[in-house]
């Protein structure tokens, strides 16, 4: 699968979380930035492989990670001081993102270890 052409999530997926805060922000969709960060993390985690991104055929494994990272980035960008609601939400979503990404990477690693077939 061509990583550049995939879509991990839609703007509507973000609105299932903190819709009121996101509507205050307005511009809250950071899909390309999120994809780049997740791609870097995957490439680092599987640096022993030539092209680890090409092995991921089921990007739904990364949907929740993408949504949570997008929310963390947007909340962090809109925080004006330590302790405001955006700051607290950013910390919350960052923590959830890290857990979710580790879970997804574990699933991917398990599938990769089973053989050379594409991760599905």
What is the average per-residue pLDDT within 22-36?
A: 95
pTM above 0.95, yes or no: no
Can you read off the two tokens belonging to residue 21?
């805060």
Can you read off the two tokens belonging to residue 90?
Answer: 């950013």
Residue with tokens 């930035």: 33
Q: What is the pLDDT of residues 39-95, one digit of tens each?
A: 999 999 999 998 889 888 789 999 999 999 999 999 999 999 999 999 999 999 999
Q: Residue ranges per domain, the chain?
A: 9-113
Which pLDDT band holds residue 2 (cuts at 50, 70, 90)? confident
Query: What was the pLDDT predicted at 26?
Result: 87
Torsion of CA 7, 45, 74, 20, to 10 degrees: 70
Q: Which residue(s) pair with 56 in the sheet?
A: 119
Q: What is the pLDDT of residues 3-17, one digit of tens each?
A: 888 899 999 999 999
Q: Which residue has the higher pLDDT, 101 or 56?
A: 101
Asked whether residue 107 carries a pLDDT value surpassing 80, the answer given is: yes
Helices (H), ranges, the chain: 11-14, 19-25, 31-45, 63-78, 85-113
């Amino acid at each position: 699968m061509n990583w550049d052409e995939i879509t991990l999530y839609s703007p509507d997926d973000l609105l299932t979380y903190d819709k009121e805060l996101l509507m205050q922000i307005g511009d809250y969709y950071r899909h390309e930035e999120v994809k780049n960060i997740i791609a870097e993390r995957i490439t680092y985690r599987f640096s022993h492989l030539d092209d680890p991104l090409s092995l991921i055929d089921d990007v739904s494994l990364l949907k929740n990670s993408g949504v949570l990272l997008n929310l963390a980035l947007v909340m962090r960008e809109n925080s004006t001081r330590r302790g405001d609601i955006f700051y607290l939400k950013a910390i919350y979503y960052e923590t959830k993102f890290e857990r979710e990404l580790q879970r997804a990477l574990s699933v991917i690693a398990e599938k990769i270890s089973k053989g050379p077939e594409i991760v599905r």
